[in-house]
Amino acid sequence: MEAVLSSYLAHLAVERGLAVNTLASYKRDLRRYVDHLQARGRLELDQVAEADVLAFLSALREGDGDHPALVASSAARAVSAVRGLHRFALREGVTGHDPAHQVRPPRQLRRLPKPITVDEVELLIAASGPEGAPLTLRNRALLEVLYGTGARISEAVGLAVDDLEAEQVRLRGKGGRTRVVPLGRYARESLDAYLVRARPGLVAHGRGTPALFLNARGGRLTRQGAWEVLQAAAERAGLAGISPHVLRHSFATHLIDGGADVRVVQELLGHASVTTTQVYTLVTVDRLREVYAAAHPRARQ
């Protein structure tokens, strides 16, 4: 069993190219699975039955003296690792059956995004800082880009000046994928003001960098720095629970509310699958139900 486990982990690292953190999680989950099997007297993978796998899933959800109960998402990851191990063992001829084939990961609750309203977005951007200050111009441009393009915070701070192209911006997303997103008038005007009136002074404090958004020392603004900009603006605006991801959610939800096609929003967000984007349509449907229930005479109870 140990030899199969080592071979499978090597397969994940070399042939599948799993990230270091993901591989560490798989290794931890599978080590717990092997311990579980051995405690049940299963010393070879060929001895494992579906009941053993189901018992492991139950143990994950209930916890024990050595392990706390796992939430559905963590338990699902562990079950996926187990299913992968058994598929690998069957494919390699180590076992003659796959006891995990019919075992499904626990269903996860859909985590719906909680967008802020357009009025709250305007309050947030208006709270960028003292009027006319160089860092305020930068902060406003950053917030306009985050909301106006739906960029992830890593994509925004990763921008270079050369990524701006007239009325659009080039974003580099997950997996090295690049996409071009339109820039609205508010974002363009804020960027122009920052580039002309603030960035030259900031860059003079550093060694020169192509980065678009700079810190007070003239270096590239970090993700943490951008997060602090957003939190400070949210505090001044009296808004709670604001994060870069909330702005991204709001960007997508407001587009859907405005009639944008879900596949267009998928492209703008840089989602590999439209399934990921469809969560925003569910939010909008919920909103429509609320409006219908409040406004239609035949909907009232």
Instruction: Single out the catalytic residue among 245, 263, 289, 292.
Output: 245
Work out how many domains the chain is built from and give that number.
2
Q: Give the span between the Cα atoms of 223 and 219, in whole angstroms.
A: 12
**Does residue 108 sit within a domain?**
no
Tokens of 144: 């306009």
CA distance 163 to 113: 29
Look at residue 202 in the predicted model and tell me its pLDDT. Answer: 96
Rg, the chain, Cα only:
25
Task: Locate all alpha helices (DSSP H) within the chain, ordered by sequence.
Answer: 2-14, 20-39, 50-62, 72-91, 118-126, 134-149, 153-157, 185-197, 199-203, 223-237, 244-257, 262-269, 274-277, 279-295
Q: Active site includes 280? A: yes
Quick check: is 114 catalytic?
A: no
| DSSP H or E run through 233 | helix 223-237
Answer yes or no: 174 catalytic: yes
Q: Catalytic: which of 83, 140, 152, 188?
A: 152
Contacts of 286 (CB under 8 A, 6+ apart): 112
Contacts of 172 (CB under 8 A, 6+ apart): 155, 158, 178
Same domain, 126 and 7: no
Q: Give domain status of residue 100, yes or no.
A: no
Is 301 within a domain? no
CB 211 within 8 A of CB 201: no
- pLDDT tens digits in sequence order for the chain, 301 residues long: 888 999 999 988 888 887 888 889 899 999 999 999 999 999 999 899 999 999 998 888 888 777 888 888 888 888 899 999 999 999 999 999 999 999 888 776 556 568 899 999 999 999 999 988 999 999 999 999 999 999 999 999 999 999 998 899 999 987 778 899 999 999 999 999 999 999 999 999 988 899 999 999 999 999 999 999 999 999 999 999 899 989 998 998 898 888 888 888 888 888 777 666 666 766 666 666 666 677 666 665 4
| Same domain, residue pair 37 and 152 | no
Catalytic residue flag (residue 177): no
Q: Which residues contact 85 (CB under 8 A, 6 or more apart)?
A: 4, 5, 8, 30, 33, 45, 100
Catalytic residue among 174, 185, 263, 289: 174
Distance CA 233, CA 228 (A): 9
Rounded Cα gap, residues 142 and 212, in angstroms: 10
Q: Is residue 33 part of a domain?
A: yes
CATH number at residue 253: 1.10.443.10
Does 105 reside within a domain? no
Q: Domain limits at 132?
A: 118-293
Strands 168-172 and 164-165: antiparallel
Out of 75, 91, 107, pick the residue that ends a domain: 91
In a domain, 97, yes or no: no
Among 36, 86, 248, 254, which one carries the catalytic annotation? 248
Q: List 25's β-bridge partners, or say none.
A: none
Q: Is the same domain home to 16 and 159? A: no
> Do 168 and 183 form a contact (C-beta atoms < 8 A)?
yes
Q: Can 220 be counted among the known catalytic residues? A: no
